[in-house]
Structures are given as C-alpha cells and as structure tokens.
Amino acid sequence: MRQRDSSAQIYLQVAIWVFTLFFFYPHPVLAADRLGTAQHPIRMMFVPSGEAQTILEGGEEIARRLQTITGLHFKTSIATSYAAVIEAMGAGKVDIGWLATFSYVLAKQKYDVDLLLIVVRFGSPFYRGQIIVRADSSIRKLSDLKGKKFAFVDAASTSGHLYPKTLLLSKGLNPDHLFSQSLFAGSHNAVILSVLKGEVDAGATYDDARAAVAKTYPEVFTKLRVIAYTKDIPNDTVAARKGLDPAFKQKIKTGLMQLSKTPEGSKVLKRVYGISGLMDFDAFFDPVREAGRLLNLDLKKVKP
C-alpha cells in the first residue's frame, strides 16, 4: 500500500511539472508561431496611390523602424489596387492597412476594420481633390469637360474619383455621360503624367499631386493648371483588421505615433504618402482644448 501511494505521488509530481512547463514557460513552437515574430510577422499593406517603388521602399523602412520601437516584426507589401487592400484585410491576409479615405469607409462597412490613426498633412486632418488640365488647354470651367477624355485614379479613391464626381453632379453635370471617355489610371502620379503628356484632356487627383512628380518633371507646375477643387475630405487612415489582438493594435498605434515624431520617421512618412503627422480621434478635440486654455478655463470644473 505504501509503495502504491509513493508511485501515485510520483505520477502527480510529474503531471504538475509537465503542466507547469507547458503553460508557464515559453514553448519553442508556440513562441515561433506567435504573431509579431520573425516567423509570423504582422502583415502591413499599402495602397498604390503614388509611385509604387517609392511606396514599397518607404514601407519597408517604416517596418524596420517600427520593429525597433515595438519589438514586433512586420512584412510589408503594396497592393495592385485600392480594393485589393480592403479584400486582403477582410480575408485576414493583412493585419494593418494604410487605407485611402473611401477605402476605409468601404472596409469598415464591409469587414468592420478598426481605425487606428488618421493622417495629418500640413497640420490638417483634411485635404481636398482637384481637377487639372494642361495650361494650354481650352478647358476653363467644368462644363468645358463635355466630350473630353478624363482620367480618374481608382474606383475606391476619394479625391481621385468619389469627390470629383460629386463635384460635377453638384454643378448639374452627369459624369457618366459628360466625357467621351473616362478611365482609371491607377495612381495619382499616373493621372498627373497622363494629363501632362496629353494622353487625356483632364484628370482628378488630390491637391496638389503635382509635387509628387516635380523632381522628375519640374515643368509640371507651369504646364498643368487646376480648374476646380472639391470640398474638404478627411485624410487617409491606418486601420487594423477585425479580430486583431487589442494589445497589438495599441502597440502599433503607439509605435507609429512615436515614429512620426522622430526626424527619420517623419522623413520616410513624408516620402511615402506626403504625411507630416499622425493623430487619433481624440486629437480632433485639441482645438477645443486650446480654446479652453486660452480662456483660462479649468475643464475639470466646468459643468456641461
């Protein structure tokens, strides 16, 4: 009986040891498979709104610097279209997407992605679209676009498709019947160059997309002119797929905010998408806080 009890105690001790080893110490297979490791990196995808190689190289640098800040590993890629990023996030093939404004709205509605950050340019979370023509063109106003060849950016582009079309509609012009031909050039840079080279009569881009190609085509500012601007548009976003661990989302969000405030990080964000900063929803209320500060209001004591 005493020997049987001794054997039972040994079995119990072994079981406790195995349980402790498995659940409380890093398991080599599980650790390697954990999201954010070199073997299982966080997948981050960018929309092809500008020059593909610039975005791809900039995205890789963002990933390297973000790894240094967060300790997480990232794998970056550039999508073939705006819609491709949305669908990849919906399928769980991409964890973090840099989404254009309308792309975010579509991704939120279709796949319930989570907004992490809003892009800031020139100190503002808003921008606008523009319609451009060649400087020597006879097109002076929107109604002059009738019967012309027109280039949009992408079906999911806000400033390069959605808002320019609503601008035309607001002026009583139906974009589905206005042009002799309309096409999607694929990127803002491509629209600019299509108009510059005379391949189309006019095009829609963000304001002012000419700067993105000015280094290679310095004549772009004198040879192209703007005939109309859209209403203000909320800037593009950084979003996370549905179901991504909240701890990862917070770490990436904090890491990107930190990255944007460093000289090196600021340069690469500017190079990739012309970004001058990043902000979260709460930052929208900073002007209100500033107004309260200027009035010497103690916000903790003010009654609503």
What are the pLDDT digits (tens) for 137-147? 999 999 999 99
pLDDT in the model for residue 28: 44
**Residue 45 — very low, low, confident or very high, per pLDDT cuts 50/70/90?**
very high
Read off the DSSP letter of residue 144. Answer: G
Same domain, 38 and 120: yes
Instruction: Report yes or no: 233 and 159 within 8 Å, Cβ to Cβ.
Output: yes
Residue 264 resides in a domain: yes
Are the C-beta atoms of residues 230 and 205 closer than 8 Å to each other?
Answer: no
If asked whether residues 73 and 40 sit together in one domain, one would say yes
Same domain, 56 and 201: no
pLDDT greater than 90 at residue 174: yes
Query: CB under 8 Å to 135, separation ≥6 — which residues?
Result: 222, 223, 224, 225
pLDDT tens, position by position, 20-41: 544 444 544 444 468 999 999 9
Residues 111 and 90 in one domain: yes
Residue 142 tokens, joined: 């929107």
What pLDDT, on the 0 to 100 scale, is given for residue 166?
93
**Confidence at residue 30, expressed as pLDDT on a 0 to 100 scale:** 44
Task: Write out pLDDT tens, residues 200-245.
Answer: 999 999 998 999 999 999 999 999 999 999 999 889 899 999 999 9
Q: What is the CATH number of the domain that holds 134?
A: 3.40.190.10
Evaluate whether 16 touches 69 at the Cβ level (below 8 Å).
Answer: no
| In a shared domain, residues 38 and 25 | no
* Cα 155 to Cα 29, 88, 206, distances in angstroms: 43, 17, 14
**Average pLDDT across the chain, whole number:** 87
Domain membership flag for residue 106: yes
Tell the burial category of 283 from Cβ atoms under 10 Å away from its Cβ (0-12, 13-18, 19+): middle
Rounded Cα distance, 301 and 232, in Å: 35
Within a domain: 152: yes
- Residue 165 predicted with pLDDT over 60: yes
Buried b (16+ CB within 10 A) or exposed e, 76-99: bbbbebbbbbbebbbeeebbbbbb
Tell me: cis bond preceding 208? Omega within 30 of 0 counts. Answer: yes
Q: Are residues 273 and 203 in the same domain?
A: no
The total of structural domains in the chain comes to 3
User: Rounded to an integer, what distance in angstroms lies between the CA atom of residue 90 and that of residue 92?
Assistant: 5
Report the length, in residues, of the chain.
304
In a domain, 299, yes or no: no
Residue 14 vs residue 210, higher pLDDT:
210
Domain that holds residue 191: 126-234
Residue 156 and residue 99 in one domain: no
**Percent of the chain residues topping a pLDDT of 90:** 67
8 A C-beta contact, residue 234 and residue 117: no
Q: How far is CA 275 from the centre of its chain?
A: 10
- Return the pLDDT at 8: 53
Please indicate, yes or no, whether residues 228 and 136 belong to a single structural domain of this protein: yes
Band of the pLDDT at 16, cuts 50, 70, 90? low
Residue 51 included in any domain: yes
Residues 40 and 71 reside in one and the same domain:
yes
Provide, rounded to the nearest whole percent, the portion of the chain with pLDDT above 70.
82
110 and 72: one domain? yes
pLDDT tops 90 at residue 72: yes
Same domain, 11 and 43: no
In a domain, 290, yes or no: no
Q: Region 53-67: what's the mean pLDDT?
A: 94
User: 123 or 245: whose pLDDT is higher?
Assistant: 245
Residue 304 included in any domain: no
Residues 118 and 245 in one domain: yes
Confirm whether 303 is domain-assigned. no
Task: Tell me the mean pLDDT in the region 184-193.
Answer: 96
Residue, of 197 and 7, whose pLDDT is higher: 197
